[in-house]
Structure 1
């Protein structure tokens, strides 16, 4: 494939959004809309996209096109796990670009703000027997579970009701199990918060279990764009990695 030259120009280090990739066409359009939001907030900042798998451009191709320019890779992932700890750093190290890898987007208050906003859009209102299942992708990495639990805590503080993390794969409880546990506690007005960056199979499957309302994925919310730029700025305070 032909790769557009993105290499060194004067200005700040490029921001490379690193998306997982999905067979659902809505995912790519959502990520591109989020890129536009970031550009609106920071005019003049070079913003590029690279996928770990399934969609083009793939991250190695995006990094190759940057040449030896400086870049900050911001994972559009919501917790620590294999992609954040292994895949992305390895792809970065194999490129000629001078890279920094930012922290994943979660946990963070801005992520909780977005989850809260999506629930309100879906029709969330406080109820005496209310509760929320925070549906996430899942990972075998225990630090990923810690991050998701922290995000659930931040959302619970905003809503004033229990928020239980649940997972689409690789971890427990499942969404169905979390719903059952909440009902056993007398919670019968249960919403599902979608802790997914964009629409896709996992988000759709989790939402299908909703006994009341299911919020949309995070998408191109303004708070998500602000969070991406926050992670970018944080990463600029760390040394860049230069390929050997």
Structure 2
């Protein structure tokens, strides 16, 4: 007895009919699948997604610090919604940078939310990236020095000054964290010069909360010796914290808020990200670029 004598769902008059039905079934099944074999509706990144931007904050016991970093990254996401953004901290706050990198796959650009060169830039961050060999990663330059920082510092001074950026005849201390690395002092001095130019030539001297001097009080006295009083203090910190509070407390006059989530900061984060993407191949992990 042949199959043609018993009609059924797989009973065909010819091989051509069999091929036609199989083709139809495959077409239906494939319509529910993506090119990678994943069913439609699944959460799978597009193949051309940009590398993840990993923002590296220092970390602080001040609860306002991680909130500020989160707000800044919110501005970054608003400017570039196509770029995946993650946060990692060097210490004190979660997630730590090592944990953030361990959870990622593919390509990443690590952007330090630090304002100059020093131990964290030269040692801590490259070591963390080297410990994540599963990633193809670049390390961007620190945020400073850059004219966008002078823009944000100018704006914070204007907010604190109310009737003007700084009073006539005043000077400004650029209050920074400080470092024993001489490159950090070079970077701070360059930012001080940029801010001075932004203020129309008002003298701006760096002062430090730690590391090699001058301290903020010493910089204030130096400006007073030049006849520059009162002195405004520009907070050269990415987020609130112990050093920022300490420096503000030393101010005899205006004390500006930290840079925080100022729009110029968000633009600068993306500038460093894009600068890193065009400066070195991802095949060279732990390469700090764009300094």
Secondary structure of 2:159's partner?
A: helix
Per-residue deviation, 1:9: 5.7
Residues 156-175 of structure 1 mapped to structure 2, 5 A cutoff: 156-159=196-199, 160-175=201-216
Which one of the candidate residues 45, 55, 59 is aligned to 2:93?
A: 55
Alignment pair present for 1:111 and 2:153: no
Structure 2 residue corresponding to 1:196, chosen from 194, 212, 237: 237
- 4+ long deviations beyond 4 Å: none
Q: Does 1:70 align with 2:70?
A: no
Q: Distance in 1 between matches of 2:46 and 2:285?
A: 18
1:127 aligned to which of 162, 167, 186: 167
Q: SS of 1:77's equivalent? A: coil
Partner of residue 186, structure 2? 146
1:1-244 equivalence runs, <5 A: 10=47, 11-67=49-105, 69-95=106-132, 96-123=134-161, 124-159=164-199, 160-237=201-278, 238-240=280-282, 241-242=284-285
**Alignment match, 2:4:** none
1:8 is displaced (CA, Å) by 7.0
- Aligned with 2:171: secondary structure? strand
C-alpha distance 85-145 of structure 1, shift in aligned 2 (>3 A): same
> Larger RCO: Structure 1 or Structure 2 (Cα < 8 Å, ≥ 6 residues apart)?
1
Larger radius of gyration: 2
The number of residues matched between the two structures is 237
TM-score by length of 1: 0.94
In structure 1, C-alpha distance between the alignment counterparts of 2:127 and 2:45, rounded to whole Å:
22
Checking the alignment, whether the CA contact within 8 Å between 2:73 and 2:85 is kept in structure 1 is: yes
- State TM-score, norm by structure 2: 0.79
Tell me, which stretches of 5 or more residues in structure 2 are unaligned? Answer: 1-43, 287-291
Tell me what 1:4 maps to. none
Separation (CA, whole Å) in 2 of partners of 1:192 and 1:209: 8
For residues 133-163 of structure 1, the C-alpha deviation after alignment (integer angstroms, 9 at most, x for no partner) is 0000000111110000000000000112100
* CA displacement at 1:125 relative to structure 2: 3.5
Find the residue that maps to 1:49 and give its secondary structure: strand
RMSD between superposed Cα atoms in Å: 1.5
- Displacement of 1:130 in angstroms is 1.1
Unaligned runs of 5+ in 1: 1-6
